[in-house]
Amino acid sequence: MRKSFLRLAFVCTAVAIVVLSACKGGVKDADLEKTVTEKITAISSDVSDASASVKDGVVTLNGMFKDDASKAQFEATVKAIPGVKSVVNNSTVAPPPPAPAAVEVTADDPLVKGVTDATKDFPGVKADVKDGVITLTGDIKRSSLPMLMKSLNTLKPKKIENKLTIK
């Protein structure tokens, strides 16, 4: 009876050792961290200053993603890696770029005065201003055209319609 009890105890102990060693034989944190780092390198265009650390199968992500979609997609990719228990995502999303500056358009009255001053040295040129658009008609020498256009562009009209005849 005593021998049967000892055999049973020995078998139970052996089974317990095998089960415990199998549980501890999971993926190592260093291996997980290497895998996650490789995945970060693969998506380098979507993230900057990225890093990952792993402790007891829990992956902590840091970095700045270009948008929410790429941040969420990368978190899902990391969660799918075998051996990852959970993911702590401390990464952020880059702010959107600033809106382009509005184009300053001069009102017609000051624009008319500026156009009159700019065209006074070009006797064959006639200019009309309407809704911020300067329309040029008449004749001009080819060598004088760049100087006229430069003068008119400094007035910041919406548009310059050049209908001049070049001599």
Residue 1 has pLDDT above 80, yes or no: no
Cα-based torsion angle of the residue sequence 57, 58, 59, 61 in order, rounded to the nearest 10 degrees: -170
Model confidence pLDDT, tens digit, residues 29-77: 888 888 888 887 787 667 778 888 899 989 998 888 888 888 888 888 8
Q: What is the pTM of this model?
A: 0.46
The pLDDT of residue 50 = 80
Residue 5 has pLDDT above 90, yes or no: no
